[in-house]
Amino acid sequence: MAKNKLKRFADLEEMQRVFQPASAYADRDYHLKGKWGAEIFGNNNPIVLELGCGKGEYTVGLSRLFPNQNFIGIDRKGARIWRGAKTINEEQVMNAAFMRAQIQHLGSIFDHREISSIWITFPDPQPQKTREKSRMTAPRFLEMYRKILVSGGRVHLKTDSFPLYEYSLQCAKESGAIIHVSTSDLYATLDTDAVLDIKTTYEKRFLSEGLKICYLSISWPL
């Protein structure tokens, strides 16, 4: 397993549109902040993030559905993003990229109003009370998302964890967000489209186990 990881890390170093900052960028801005569209994608199309992207199923799936938008999958573990990065390089998917980074540094990586929407797909629910601040929909993260999103830009959450869904909904309301869609049983209550029908490895497993999928879509007033 360790040998396989080392090979994947080596592969990532050679792949196009894969970014692995050497620094955490906690105290200074990444050099591409505010320049992702122009310098990486060569256009001013909307930029969509998939946070905690894992294998990048949503990043790859969305990039295929929307060629006139740009997509960046972000995860802190290189062995995870390898699969999605390999796919976009082999298939020459030019409107997708991957980045190995910590979510808490998004404000140093992306500029104010640089992002059009955000997908959070099956994050670790961090159920322990002591881990509340690490939940990807905790107030500190929602405030960060709000700053980098365009006016009206949406945050989408898909999760199998009902407690995380409830927590996220409450935090969203307390932040003043507009709740566009909120359901604790996505496939039983909504007519899904090609976007919502994209399924990650985790979601396929959860559905095979009979679990319900929760979905939340929010934005903030202008």
Known catalytic residue at 124: yes
Integer Cα distance of 91 and 108 in angstroms: 30
List, in order, residues 6 or more apart from 211 with CB less than 8 Å away. 160
Does residue 104 lie in a domain region? yes
Among 101, 96, 103, 109, CA closest to 32? 109
Q: What is the largest CA-CA distance in the chain?
A: 50
Does residue 25 lie in a domain region? no
- 27, 124, 185, 193: which one is catalytic? 124
How many CB atoms are closer than 10 A to CB 193? 9
Name the strand (E) or helix (H) holding 143: helix 139-148
| Residue 165 tokens, joined | 């869904």
Does residue 22 lie in a domain region? no
At residue 179, the 3 state secondary structure works out as strand
> Residue 106 sits in a domain of what CATH number?
3.40.50.150
Domain that residue 137 falls in: 2-15+33-219
* Angle of CA points 95, 15, 114, to nearest 5°: 40
pLDDT tens digit string along 163-204? 999 999 999 999 999 999 999 999 999 998 999 999 999 999
88 vs 77, higher pLDDT: 88
How many domains, in total, are found in the chain? Answer: 1
Does residue 21 lie in a domain region? no
Does residue 46 lie in a domain region? yes
pLDDT tens digit string along 15-68? 889 998 765 566 789 999 999 999 999 999 999 999 999 999 999 999 999 999
Does residue 23 lie in a domain region? no
Does residue 200 lie in a domain region? yes
Does residue 188 lie in a domain region? yes
Cα torsion angle, 50, 56, 62, 67, sign: positive
